[in-house]
Amino acid sequence: MVILRNKQDLSDFSSSINDKQLTLGFVPTMGALHQGHLSLIQKSIEENQYTLASIYVNPTQFNDISDFEKYPKTELEDIRKLESIGCDAVYIPSNQDMYPEGLELDVFNIGTLGEHMEGHSRPGHFDGMITIVRRLFLQIKPSKAYFGEKDFQQLQIIRKFVYDEKLPIKIIGMPIFREDSGLALSSRNSRLSGSFKEEAPFIYQSLLKAKKLIENCKPVSEVISEIKELYDSSIFKLDYFIIAEEENLIPVEKLESNKSYRAFITVYAGEVRLIDNIKLDFNNCI
Ligand code: AMP
């Protein structure tokens, strides 16, 4: 596997592939790789002639400095994992490569997709995220790029960005990879201690409960109150629990036929912020 540590090496690598009109799949990450990340990279390997992953902990998408400072960094292990699954190259840029002019953001109108959930709880997060994804896309020029549905709001914002900017990149959304317990894999899980770690599967269980209530045609407002109540007596502090339409990510109080919805949750396990979501099915109730 080729390790690319600066913009020039990256540019030589991607031009050699693009010049020969070979397909290049790209998977951006912040490292501390787990099976969720690897599932995206494996999909890219299946679908493209070359696969490039990137590892960059982007300072501008953290609104909480301590979250940024404590973000796990496991570069050697990451490289070993990427090599073991047959990834062709990894790009590990410096801040100077990504922000040559200092930590300035590119301007892109995220619109209503960024208004709720993470956009509301983490002001500026998506501006930082889209800046880095835009710069990576322009440097790499991949044929396809892979993102997890775990960060569903991020995925939808990237889809809109690529559509609005008319970039010739196919965005592939990948299902959430979970532990056997149901806990969604996350780099931040390694920061969970003691009872938070033991009880973390509760988050997915609460989503399953919401899914079941919706399948049983319970009104959205009642489902929301019931799930919120569950958290009143748990060790997790609920940031938000919302049911929103997949297309525009606007929270709803009523489900309409021919539309798709998801339940979105974010909790604090001590100081560790965990997010998850689940697709809802209400065909029974139409
Ligand atoms: P991150 O390193 O957290 O920025 O994640 C890099 C990519 O991996 C993003 O597209 C995430 O949505 C995706 N990802 C993270 N965790 C999971 C998971 N458990 N299942 C599937 N994709 C994931």
Return the HEC string of 121-177: HCCCHHHHHHHHHHHHHHHHCCCEEEEEHHHHHHHHHHHHHHHHCCCCCEEEEECCC
CB of 118 closer than 6 A to ligand 1?
A: no
pLDDT on residue 284 = 86
Mean pLDDT, to the nearest integer, of 185-205? 96
What's the pLDDT at 39? 98
SS3 category, 215: helix
| % of the chain exceeding 90 in pLDDT | 97
**Is ligand 1 within 6 A of the CB of residue 214?**
no
Whether ligand 1 lies within 6 angstroms of the CB of 275 is answered as no
Q: Distance from the CA of 82 to the center of ligand 1, in angstroms?
A: 15
Please confirm, yes or no, whether 37 is among the known catalytic residues. yes
Q: Choose which residue among 150, 159, 171 to substitute to test ligand 1 binding: the one with the highest number of ligand atoms within 8 A of its C-beta.
A: 150
Is the distance from the beta carbon of residue 186 to the nearest atom of ligand 1 less than 6 Å? Answer: yes
Ligand 1 nearest-atom number relative to CA 146: 10
CB atoms within 10 A of CB 256: 10
148 lines ligand 1 (CB under 6 A): yes
Cβ contacts of residue 234 below 8 Å, gap of 6+?
A: 199, 202
The whole-number pLDDT of residue 224 equals 98
Q: What is the DSSP letter of 59?
A: G
* pLDDT tens per residue, range 72-115: 999 999 999 999 999 999 999 999 999 999 999 998 899 899 99
Atom 5 (ligand 1) nearest CA: 29
Longest dimension (CA), the chain: 59
Segment 128-170, tens digit of pLDDT: 999 999 999 999 999 999 999 999 999 999 999 999 999 999 9
Q: Average pLDDT in the 63-79 region?
A: 95
Assess whether pLDDT exceeds 90 at residue 36: yes
Instruction: Tell me how far the alpha carbon of residue 211 lies from the centroid of ligand 1, in angstroms.
Output: 22
Angle between helices 7-19 and 125-140 (to 10 degrees): 50
pTM flag (> 0.95)? yes
Does the beta carbon of 36 lie inside 6 Å of ligand 1? yes
The average confidence (pLDDT) of the chain is 96
Distance 113 CA to ligand 1 centre (A): 19
Dist. CA 219 → ligand 1 center (Å): 31
CA-nearest residue for atom 12, ligand 1, is: 148
Question: pLDDT tens-digit profile of 243-285?
Answer: 999 999 999 999 999 999 999 999 999 999 999 999 999 988 9
pLDDT at 61: 94
What's the DSSP call for residue 260?
-
Neighbours of 42 (CB within 10 A): 18
pLDDT score for 126: 96
- Mean of the pLDDT values across residues 8-14? 96
Residue whose CA lies nearest to ligand 1 atom number 17? 36
pLDDT at 107: 85
Percent of the chain with pLDDT over 70: 100
Note whether 26 and 144 are within 8 A (CB): yes
**pLDDT on residue 286:** 80
